Structure 1
Amino acid sequence: MFFTYLRRELRRRRKAALVVASGLALGIALVIVVSSVSSGMSQAQDKVLQSLYGLGTDMTVTKAAAPPGEGDNRRRFEFDAKGDTGAEQSSDRVMVQGFQTLASSTVTQVGGQDGVAQAVGGLSLTVLKVNGEFKPGEITPPQGGGRTGQGGTGGAGGGEVRGGGAAFDVNSYTVFGTDVAAPALGPLTSSKITTGRTFKSTETDAAVAVVDSAYAKEKSLAVGKTVTISGTKFSIVGVATADSGDSAANLYIPLKKAQTLADSKDKVTTVYVKAADSQQIDSVKSAIQKNIPDTTVTTSADLAGTVSGSLSTASDLATTVGKWLSIAVLIAAFLVAGLLTSSAVSRRVREFGTLKALGWKSGRVTRQVVGEALVNGLLGGVLGIALGLGGAYLVTAISPTLTAQLGSTGGGGGLAGGGPMGGGPARQTASKALDIALTAPVSVSTIGIAVGLAVAGGLIAGGFGGWRASRLRPADALRRVE
């Protein structure tokens, strides 16, 4: 009887049911779209962080920045004389990015802290290549035949030096020394080997290199060719393509080789840390800072706080304006559904009064109204999920591009070079800008929330109508009989 009456009443009031369902559908669809876009932005921010640290890294440990004025970051370029014929001069300088290093033993110390699953060291370098030539000037005889020496016009031999000078080109590229014995952690994991292979665990001191695909294209490098770094030839064994944005370095070489090139034996610039439990990252950070002095620990959350640009702006809008807009629309949809249901009950006074006169209890009338409203809510949920999925698919299909600018963390870490003379680690992350294509993935939990909202909307609307129906008396129906 219940379902028979329910089906008949919904068929009779199709327009009213559609209006209620449509209002709920719009609110539910907006929640799905906002939730999926927020999830896509979160994934985009994760890609920004992974492009710096690689997969699996929860935090990094770097040397604490020295106070301003301390340390000598100057670099000298000296050239040997090669005659006076303008022969080409060339010099390479391998420098540690940020000029701040930690002892390799720090990696073991960090790995021994409670809550640390794995710790791997890396050495980030910048190579400056300066080449050019000195052009000697020409000595011209003095005008007027002046004499040399006392009373002469000056200059060597009484003449005048004209022309000459120097013309040098300065090129720079970045090199990262990676621990080949721990390939699952570090910046190289943010790139995918597209040609050749990655390092073997036995190549700890081998002259082999993996080159970034963009740099390989620019310099016409390929697997099997060699690249020279400060006089040492490295055989290219693989080409890696960054999963998103720019790669962490132009070239990757074994850590021991990088330490040799930079004259930084047993030194690293960054320790990459994976926590045993992602929920305990803050406590692990505190333990490292307490037990290992003169270090700066930067977590993914710290780095995410420095992300700016259109990605950050859009993320703020989605999490603030979008969230509150969704809540406002949902509340409005629930209220409208409740009021429409209550209004429909008011128009059915004679019907419900007659049913009560025939023996229906108030609870049965209320259940009938709630059942109708619940069906309307579920119908609105189905429509809302369809609209929400369509909106999320549209966002993913369009894939609007957002820019993420990674600012300074203040502590030094990161691998994005801020230029060869970047002025210390605090500035290394300042120039890391990435273009990220926005997607809007819809999770099962989001669908579950939508279904829950549909049921809640139906129950709220049914609550309004049921309360109104329970107050009707059979006498009201008799007064309306013509």
Structure 2
Amino acid sequence: MFFTYLRRELRRRRKAALVVASGLALGIALVIIVSSVSSGMSKAQDKVLESLYGLGTDMTVTKAAAAQGSGGTERPRFEFDAKDDEDATQSTDRVMVQGFQTLASSTVGKVGEQDGVADAVGGLSLTVMKVDGQFKRGEFKQDESAGQSGQGGPGAGQGGSGQPQGRVEGGGASFDVNSFTVYGTDVTQQDLGPLTSSKITKGRTFKAAETDAKVAVVDSAYAKEKSLAVDKTVTISGTAYTIVGVSTADSGDAAANVYIPLKQAQTVADSKDKVTTVYVKAADSQQIDTVKAAIQKNISGTTVTTSADLADTVSGSLSTASDLASSVGKWLSIAVLAAAFLVAGLLTSSAVSRRVREFGTLKALGWKSGRVTRQVVGEALVNGLMGGVLGIAVGLAGAYAVTAVSPTLSAQLGSTGGGGGPMGGGPGRQTASKTLDIALTAPVSLTTILVAVGLAVAGGLIAGAFGGWRASRLRPADALRRVA
């Protein structure tokens, strides 16, 4: 009897049911779209951070920045020998530690011993500045007019001393300055660090036994620019490294142009047993702040930067859109959903008011107030489920449209304090910030769908509560007055 009456009433009041379902659907669809876009924003920010940190890295440890004016920086010096052959090309390069801030390699072990640290690995980030070109001698041009009038007479000036007068023309120097970045990676632990943000597309990665081998992996963009390939060599400070692989960054620019074993990086930079950055993976992602506090307390002179700290430095359209999605979008969806629930409740209550004669007659025939209330709540619940189905369909369509269009957002990651390295700022690290273009997607998770179903049920129950309360107050006498 319940379902028969329910089906008949819903069919008889299709327009009213559609209005209630559409209102709920609008709120639920907006919640799905905002949630999926926010999830896409979060994934986009993760890609930005991974392009610097590498996969699996929860935080980095660098040397604390030196006090202002306390030194610690130096200017690169380049020296050239004098050569008789003016056409000879001269070349020299300088390997510098990024940020000029290093930690002892033993710091890696100390960090790994802290509670909550699952793994820690060190890396050395370098910048190589290469200068090459040639000098050209100038040609001496004698001043003929001075030679004719200056035979010891008055006003001859220094011409009277027998020295030729004239000027030097031409000559000078022409030098090109090129720079590229080098990252020294611990080849025995390649599951942490910036190299994990790139995939090997040609050749291979490092072998665990190549801790001090003269081998290198180069970024694909840099390889294309310099016409490098597997089995060719790249020269760093006079040392040739055989290219064993070419890597391609998953998103944006690579963390470095060239990757070499850590020991080799320490050798060419004259930084034995030194690292610029310690990459840390936490045992529990929920305890990152606790691990950070422990490292800062137990290892002095260090700066710990977490993913959350780095995310605060993200700016650009990605950051703006993320703020809008998390603040304006969230409150807008809540407001629309609340309004949809309220409208559904008022419409259901109004529909009950128009059915006074019907419910009064049913009560006169023996229906109790509870049965009438259950009938009204049942109708409202079905309307809510219909709105949920419609809202999920519209929300999925909206999320799919965002993913299909994939609007491109720019993210600029500013440098943070501390030592050098792909993440750090520090003295001399003026190029630490980088801009990436990220394609936005809107993934819809099962959790979001379940939340939408819950909202649909909640909307139906709220609307039923309004209508049931109104129906429970009806009396058979009300129906008799309407008939009269």
TM-score > 0.5, shorter chain as reference: yes
Match of 2:49 in 1: 49
One of 314, 329, 332 as aligned partner of 1:325 = 332
User: How high is the TM-score relative to the length of structure 2?
Assistant: 0.96
State the shift of 1:68 in Å: 2.2
Match of 2:306 in 1: 299
Cα 1:154–1:231, aligned 2, differ >3 Å: closer, same or farther? farther
The amino acid of 1:32's aligned partner reads: I
Match of 2:470 in 1: 468
1:390 partnered with 2:397? yes
Cα 1:154–1:338, aligned 2, differ >3 Å: closer, same or farther? farther
> What SS does structure 1 have at the residue aligned with 2:212?
coil
Q: Which region of structure 1 is more displaced relative to structure 2, 154-163 or 186-195?
A: 154-163
Match of 2:36 in 1: 36
Match of 2:133 in 1: 132
> What SS does structure 2 have at the residue aligned with 1:403?
strand
Q: Deviations over 1:123-177 (max 9, x none)?
A: 0011111011111111122333247997328997433222211111101111100
Q: d(CA) in 2 for partners of 1:90 and 1:408?
A: 32
> What SS does structure 2 have at the residue aligned with 1:152?
helix
State the shift of 1:429 in Å: 2.7
Q: d(CA) in 2 for partners of 1:150 and 1:472?
A: 125
> What SS does structure 2 have at the residue aligned with 1:133?
strand
Aligned residues: 477
The amino acid of 1:96's aligned partner reads: V
User: How high is the TM-score relative to the length of structure 1?
Assistant: 0.96
The amino acid of 1:424's aligned partner reads: G
Match of 2:247 in 1: 240
Q: Which region of structure 1 is more displaced relative to structure 2, 338-347 or 132-141?
A: 132-141
Q: d(CA) in 1 for partners of 2:423 and 2:295?
A: 24
Cα 1:477–1:284, aligned 2, differ >3 Å: closer, same or farther? same
Match of 1:60 in 2: 60
Q: Deviations over 1:157-209 (max 9, x none)?
A: 43322221111110111110000000100000000111111100000011111
Cα 1:137–1:147, aligned 2, differ >3 Å: closer, same or farther? farther
Match of 1:115 in 2: 116
1:282 partnered with 2:289? yes
> What SS does structure 2 have at the residue aligned with 1:122?
strand
One of 435, 458, 472 as aligned partner of 1:433 = 435
One of 245, 253, 261 as aligned partner of 1:254 = 261
State the shift of 1:52 in Å: 0.1
Cα 1:153–1:406, aligned 2, differ >3 Å: closer, same or farther? farther
Q: Deviations over 1:49-104 (max 9, x none)?
A: 00001001010000111122212411110011121524211111111111111111
Cα 1:368–1:113, aligned 2, differ >3 Å: closer, same or farther? same
Cα 1:380–1:413, aligned 2, differ >3 Å: closer, same or farther? farther
Structure 2 residue runs of 5 or longer lacking an equivalent are none
One of 210, 213, 227 as aligned partner of 1:206 = 213
Q: d(CA) in 2 for partners of 1:183 and 1:154?
A: 74
CA contact (8 A) 1:310 1:404 kept: yes
Q: d(CA) in 2 for partners of 1:245 and 1:393?
A: 24
Q: d(CA) in 1 for partners of 2:108 and 2:473?
A: 74
Cα 1:223–1:7, aligned 2, differ >3 Å: closer, same or farther? same
1:424 partnered with 2:431? no
Q: d(CA) in 1 for partners of 2:333 and 2:132?
A: 61
CA contact (8 A) 2:373 2:468 kept: yes
Q: Deviations over 1:295-321 (max 9, x none)?
A: 110000000011010000000000111
Q: d(CA) in 2 for partners of 1:459 and 1:466?
A: 10
Counting aligned pairs with the same residue, the percent is 81
Question: Where does 1:70-89 land on structure 2 (aligned, <5 Å)?
Answer: 70-89=71-90
CA contact (8 A) 1:412 1:424 kept: no
Match of 1:182 in 2: 189
Q: d(CA) in 2 for partners of 1:87 and 1:369?
A: 96
Q: Which region of structure 1 is more displaced relative to structure 2, 402-411 or 180-189?
A: 402-411
> What SS does structure 1 have at the residue aligned with 2:158?
coil
State the shift of 1:361 in Å: 0.6
Match of 1:442 in 2: 444
CA contact (8 A) 1:415 1:428 kept: no
CA contact (8 A) 1:84 1:136 kept: no
State the shift of 1:468 in Å: 0.4
Structure 1 residue runs of 5 or longer lacking an equivalent are none
Cα 1:413–1:233, aligned 2, differ >3 Å: closer, same or farther? closer
Match of 1:349 in 2: 356
Q: Deviations over 1:333-376 (max 9, x none)?
A: 01110111011101100100000001111011000000000000
The amino acid of 1:17's aligned partner reads: A
The amino acid of 1:102's aligned partner reads: L
Q: d(CA) in 2 for partners of 1:451 and 1:94?
A: 60
Cα 1:157–1:464, aligned 2, differ >3 Å: closer, same or farther? same
Match of 1:218 in 2: 225
Match of 1:455 in 2: 457
1:96 partnered with 2:100? no
CA contact (8 A) 2:125 2:181 kept: yes
The amino acid of 1:130's aligned partner reads: V
Cα 1:428–1:64, aligned 2, differ >3 Å: closer, same or farther? farther
Q: d(CA) in 2 for partners of 1:312 and 1:8?
A: 52
Backbone CA RMSD of aligned residues: 1.8
Q: d(CA) in 2 for partners of 1:249 and 1:155?
A: 61
CA contact (8 A) 1:58 1:281 kept: yes
